[in-house]
Structure 1
Amino acid sequence: MNFAKRAAVGLATATAGLLLAATPSHAVPISDGMTVGYVVVDTESGETVLQFHEHDKFRSASLVKLLIAIDYLEALDGKEIPAEDRALLEPMLRASNDDAASALWVRGGQQAIVDRMVAKIGLVDTAPPTDEGMWGYTALSAADVARIYQYILHDAAPEVREFMLTNLRAHTKCADDKFDQSFGIPSGVREPGAVKQGWSGFGAAPEPGAECQDSSDPGLSARLLSSPEVQRAQQIAPGEDATPAAASDIDLTRPAMHTSGTVGDDEKIIVLLTLEPEQTSWDTAAERITALTKLLDTTTR
């Protein structure tokens, strides 16, 4: 399927605060001060059919969890995943659990995880965080995130591919930090596939949001996430919303909200990375990103 032949002009021109699609009737307002980078990739041909600032670098927020998981799984070299590690990996991928990410980040060598994945996958814009404990400040681009999905779909070992896709397809509406992570692909496309979301800089979970206040992680996962390993990792790797490092070539202050994943039967990949103006509310950002994602999807059908 060649989406490029059906995409018309696409979403390639930003002027006067508008991101323009193929016709003016599809124009979606973009707030002054908002930064956007995106790609849409036809997974069969590998062709990038829509792109805009696709190599601009953003802080990863939770998108780096894709690399943490792949790195861990490939180190197993086909061996069975221990139950206690599965209890970290699954909530990290499905419900974006930060404590699980910190534990696996520290265990995997922190910055060394990113260095290995850059070399293995062939990423060109991705770099480890200046403060290695801040895994959410890894730098990456929309083009590189799309490449990660292409790697999962076509290059990873079958057991790695199956585990990643199974868990990313089981993405929850509510993240373990009580944020509603259904913005973007889960709400903006007809058939969401394997999805990983990212956000940073919005403070505590917003109100209202009662539908996410009762989210929990019972059983083995809950025990593992209160284990000494996780508690130690929390001290070493506080995650993505602590005080920014003093020096970095990416914006660490404005709120970030990213959506990434596949559509339908994995026939295309959508990656949309954004930075919002300061003080933007969660709901405003989520509505805007969902509208943009819908436009990216419909333009490439």
Structure 2
Amino acid sequence: MPYSHSISHSKTSARHRGSRAGACAGVLLASMTSLFSFAAVHAAPAVAAPAPSEQTRATAGVDAAVQPQSKPRVTAAVLSLDGGSRKPLLYGEDAPYDTASIIKVDILAALLLQAQDAGRHLTVQERALAEPMIRNSDNAAANALWREIGRAPGLEAANKRLGLASTKGGPGTKWGLTRTTASDQIRLLLSVFDSAATSKTDSPLNKESQAYIQTLMSRIASDQAWGVSKASGAEYALKNGWLQRTASGLWDVNSVGRVTADGHRYLVAVLSDGSASMSDGISLVERAARQAVSATART
């Protein structure tokens, strides 16, 4: 679905945990440097991950200009749900990026928190908006729910409870220009997918709210099934975001979700910008997700 008239929206380093040293760490750092160094990062060939089949001009009003950059940049964050730590491993600089449509998970989390506070379930109409917003990345639905949660102030109030300290809501109606970091996206995913009953990891989202978001992210439309899912086997839950900048023509492509690889569960967030095309951005994100999950599994 379209996102805004300044973007095209189609349906279509490593901070090593602990201090382990030696040969394994050397290999890990060497293997990740070529991808996650901002000075040398390049998108993989477009054929590695073809773009979704349809592309439309968007309609919701994002007109911010960005400065052209010579090379794309990418940051990945990975957290093993089967490990004891609740701090993600980071590959690349944990810098802010525009969210594009990955913000829709956060919008839904904010809506559910507000409903919980009111002691109610989502209405039929709210569900009728939430489901296409996540499964099909429907922008009209996102516009309506962005207004309902109170736009950026409502989002940020929810994010304070969810532990997102580096996410700033987009101005006015421009939810896709919300700024976030990969580590904040892991915190959001943790609030959705973590079921550990400890004071440090209990989510403000109740079990019903968690299950609802998980279900929608696990039933993403087939033309949306790219991104972090490529680091997974058959089981994954995700949300992607993509936009083209008016000033430069370059693409922001992001993907967040839970994946299962070799029997282990991971939360993964990959944020990128500066790709020459959407398909280049998808290839970059998928390559980053695969390498980051593989590297994390070896730590």
Relative to the length of structure 1, the TM-score reads: 0.69
Find 2:101's aligned residue among 62, 65, 78. 62
SS in 1 for 2:126: helix
What displacement does 1:36 show?
Answer: 1.1
1:112 equivalent to 2:128? Answer no
Specify every segment of 5 or more residues in structure 2 that has no aligned partner in the other structure, as ranges. 1-15, 45-69, 195-202
Alignment partners' CA distance in 2, 1:266 and 1:253: 38
- Counterpart of 1:275 in structure 2 is 273
Alignment partners' CA distance in 1, 2:134 and 2:36: 33
Tell me, yes or no, if the aligned pair for 2:36 and 2:75 is still in contact at 8 Å.
no
Alignment partners' CA distance in 2, 1:40 and 1:162: 21
Tell me, yes or no, if the aligned pair for 1:257 and 1:275 is still in contact at 8 Å.
yes
- Counterpart of 1:165 in structure 2 is 214
- Counterpart of 2:127 in structure 1 is 86
Find 1:50's aligned residue among 80, 89, 100. 89
Alignment partners' CA distance in 2, 1:95 and 1:258: 15
Find 1:182's aligned residue among 225, 228, 247. 225
- Counterpart of 2:73 in structure 1 is 35
What displacement does 1:170 show?
Answer: 0.6
- Counterpart of 1:213 in structure 2 is none
**1:191-238 residue CA offsets vs partner (Å, 9 max, x unmatched):** 442211111117xxxxxxxxxxxxxxxxxxxxxxxxxxxxxxxxxxxx
Which letter maps to 1:295? Q
Q: Compared with structure 1, are the counterparts of its residues 53 and 294 closer, same or farther at alpha carbon in structure 2 (3 Å cutoff)?
A: closer
The alignment yields a C-alpha RMSD, in angstroms, of 3.1
Q: Compared with structure 1, are the counterparts of its residues 12 and 65 closer, same or farther at alpha carbon in structure 2 (3 Å cutoff)?
A: farther
Tell me, yes or no, if the aligned pair for 1:193 and 1:263 is still in contact at 8 Å.
yes
SS in 2 for 1:133: coil
Relative to the length of structure 2, the TM-score reads: 0.69
Q: Compared with structure 1, are the counterparts of its residues 188 and 35 closer, same or farther at alpha carbon in structure 2 (3 Å cutoff)?
A: same
Alignment partners' CA distance in 2, 1:94 and 1:266: 24
Q: How does 1:240-279 map to 2 (within 5 A)?
A: 254-264=250-260, 267-277=265-275
Q: Compared with structure 1, are the counterparts of its residues 13 and 56 closer, same or farther at alpha carbon in structure 2 (3 Å cutoff)?
A: farther
Name the % identity. 23
SS in 2 for 1:123: coil
Q: Compared with structure 1, are the counterparts of its residues 276 and 159 closer, same or farther at alpha carbon in structure 2 (3 Å cutoff)?
A: same
1:103 equivalent to 2:99? Answer no
What displacement does 1:8 show?
Answer: 4.1
Which letter maps to 1:37? T
- Counterpart of 2:177 in structure 1 is 137
What displacement does 1:102 show?
Answer: 0.3
Tell me, yes or no, if the aligned pair for 2:36 and 2:74 is still in contact at 8 Å.
no
Tell me, yes or no, if the aligned pair for 1:68 and 1:113 is still in contact at 8 Å.
no
- Counterpart of 1:74 in structure 2 is 113
**1:117-170 residue CA offsets vs partner (Å, 9 max, x unmatched):** 2311121211122x3210000010000000001111231211110101011111
